[in-house]
Amino acid sequence: MNFQLIALDLDGTLLNSRKEIPAEAAEAIRAVTAAGKTVIFATGRAVCELEEQIALLPQVRYAAFASGAGLYDIKEKKTFGLRGVPAGQAGRILSIARTKDVMPQIVTPDADVIQASHMEQLEHFHMGVYRPMYERAMTLVPDIYAFAEACHEPFLKINLYHADPEERFRTRAQLEFPDLDLVYSEVSSVECSAAGVSKGSGLERLCGLLGVPLNACIAVGDAENDIPMLRAAGLGIAMGNAPAHVKTAADRVVSDLDHGGCAQAIMMLL
Amino acid sequence: MGLFPYRAVIVDFDRTLLRTDKSISDHTIRVLRECCQSGARLFAATARPERAIQAYCDTIAFDAVTTLNGARTIVGDDVYEALISNRSAEYVLQQLNAMEGAVISVETGSGLYASIDIPVWQPTVTDDICSLAGQEKIYKILVSHPQIPISRICLDLPEDLYTTVADQKLIQIMSKEATKWNGILRMLESFQIQTEQAIYFGDDNDDTEPIMKCGCGVAVGNALPSVLGIADYITESNDEDGVAAFLSGLIKG
């Protein structure tokens, strides 16, 4: 199979445990793009959280962000193809979140928003490792629930980070609804998007734009929210650090995030 | 009068603004007028030449049009052109001429020429299509083949040209400068409107860039899957007056 494109998840995949791009992965991206292949990001992050990676990897032109809820033209600095959470659902998700020890994060086209007091408690919600990124990229509001009521922009994604990782299973069951897609990510989160929106649909939409058939694509990831794109792509690769059910959904497994796994996957394009 | 949130409404013609039978409904014409009365400029971005949209322009007051996929943009008395160079035109026409059975047509400064008669288009038929390269301004070269699928047509394309496929059966060859987006930029600049203030409606491959780059990009329901995938909104099909439906929704309030 002559693969033409690779979709890379960021956290836990391209980025190592220190949230850096390993040298061999950067080199692999340089090599494959020089050979005419296409590399795209497929991330749960919002556009404002991609600045560093965009600057370090100028070969990457497009990203599917907010787990496929939005597409981004890096060169033109323009989002397009936004697919937000249905308006009624946003209210429902947040009213359930209010009853729990949860940090909601709302991703809009321009900003990634959390409550100021939650920023001080990132470790409590098992997100301490993201503190530097959050300090750089998050927009803080005094009251996330009041912000949500007043905001008229589409919510591309609503992430709920739980203090108790076990609680997220209950939350997901409570939120289950035909027009919502729910996935687990990180240690304790449930990510909510519009039905049909996933990294898989994001990959499919970018492939449609670029004229690349899905079976000529490779997708690499490590978390549950990567499963749809691992399945959609011609070759789905799970990182060594991925949990068992993500590995099962993949065609191949590579080394982990600190041992060159992503670089191995990228080189499969050649 | 409602407040209309965009300063420019830009529409593709075939299979977007127009129904499949090429008609435009009275309802659509009324809605477009309402947008203009609310202060928006109205632009067209089409693969057609000017002569083929004249009848519609008599009914709808477009503020500017970009025709021939951006090869010729008309803003009042000003005309902006992105032509195929003589050298490139000659090279391409020679290759096409050597392909048996290829139907070749050329949009020039003095109208449409073709290698055989194409009744629907009424071209000037010529058996010396290559000679057009030195003699005429060339906006677009079109090629189709009754037997060979267009994906199998092999052309050594000069660096300064690109191809686009329309209706999944016609290859259009143009200068790289001739794009709907470049034509749109000219029109927006002429009226000092920012891209973020424009809303675009389209259905086909050549509408992808405007849909991605305008403030709001809308695909009609009948659009190609790849176009549906990258649009911000999807409206009803052209035959259900999708453009009017979406614009009406914006005008209210």
Interface touch B208/A209, C-beta < 8 Å: yes
Interface touch A80/B225, C-beta < 8 Å: no
Interface touch A81/B232, C-beta < 8 Å: yes
Report the 10 Å Cβ neighbour count for B106: 29
- CB contacts under 8 A, A 140-199 vs B, are none
Q: Could you tell me the residue ranges of all domains in chain B?
A: 8-81+179-251, 86-175
Q: Find all residues with CB under 8 Å of B199, minimum gap 6, and list them.
A: B6, B8, B9, B10, B214, B215, B216, B217, B218, B250
CATH number for the segment(s) A5-82+197-267:
3.40.50.1000
Tokens of A265: 């996957």
A208: nearest CA partner in chain B:
B226
pLDDT in tens, chain B (253 residues): 568 899 999 999 999 999 999 999 999 999 999 999 999 999 999 999 999 999 999 999 999 999 999 999 999 999 999 999 999 999 999 999 999 999 999 999 999 999 999 888 889 999 999 999 989 999 999 999 999 888 888 899 999 999 988 777 889 999 999 999 999 999 999 999 999 999 999 999 889 999 999 999 999 999 999 999 999 999 999 999 999 999 999 986 5
Pairing of β A70-73 and β B72-75? unpaired
DSSP secondary structure code for residue A15 in this structure: B
Give me the helices (H) in B2-126, please: 26-37, 54-59, 86-97
Tally C-beta pairs within 8 A across A and B. 35
Q: Is A233 on the interface with B (CB under 8 A)?
A: no
CB A233, CB A64: distance < 8 Å: no
pLDDT in tens, A211-265: 999 999 999 999 999 999 999 999 999 999 999 999 999 999 999 999 999 999 9
Which of A73, A76, A209 faces B229 most closely, judged by CB atoms? A209
Residue B2: per-residue pLDDT = 60
Chain B residues near any Cβ of chain A (below 8 Å) = 208, 211-213, 217, 225-226, 229-232
pLDDT averaged over consecutive 10-residue blocks of chain A (270 residues)? 96 96 97 98 92 96 96 95 90 94 94 95 95 92 95 92 96 92 89 94 97 97 95 98 97 97 97
Which of A73, A82, A205 faces B232 most closely, judged by CB atoms? A82
B34, amino acid identity: E
Residue A183: per-residue pLDDT = 86
Residues of B in contact with A69 (CB under 8 A): none
B224: nearest CA partner in chain A:
A208
Residue A178: per-residue pLDDT = 87
Q: Is A250 on the interface with B (CB under 8 A)?
A: no
Report the 10 Å Cβ neighbour count for A182: 20
A201: nearest CA partner in chain B:
B229
Residue B166: per-residue pLDDT = 75
CATH class, domain B86-175, is alpha beta
**A87: helix, strand or coil:** helix
Min Cα–Cα distance to chain A from B198, Å: 14
Interface touch A204/B232, C-beta < 8 Å: no
Residue A109: per-residue pLDDT = 86
Min Cα–Cα distance to chain A from B8, Å: 18
Which of B208, B211, B213 faces A76 most closely, judged by CB atoms? B213
Calpha distance B63→B59 (Å, rounded): 13
Interface touch B226/A73, C-beta < 8 Å: no
Calpha distance A185→B182 (Å, rounded): 42
Q: Could you tell me the residue ranges of all domains in chain A?
A: 5-82+197-267, 87-194
**Pick from A52, A107, A78: nearest CA to A209:** A78
Architecture of the structural domain at A87-194 = 2-Layer Sandwich (3.30)
Calpha distance B60→B54 (Å, rounded): 10
CATH class, domain B8-81+179-251, is alpha beta
Give me the helices (H) in B67-112, please: 86-97
Interface touch B230/A80, C-beta < 8 Å: yes
Whole-structure pTM value: 0.86
Report the 10 Å Cβ neighbour count for A231: 15
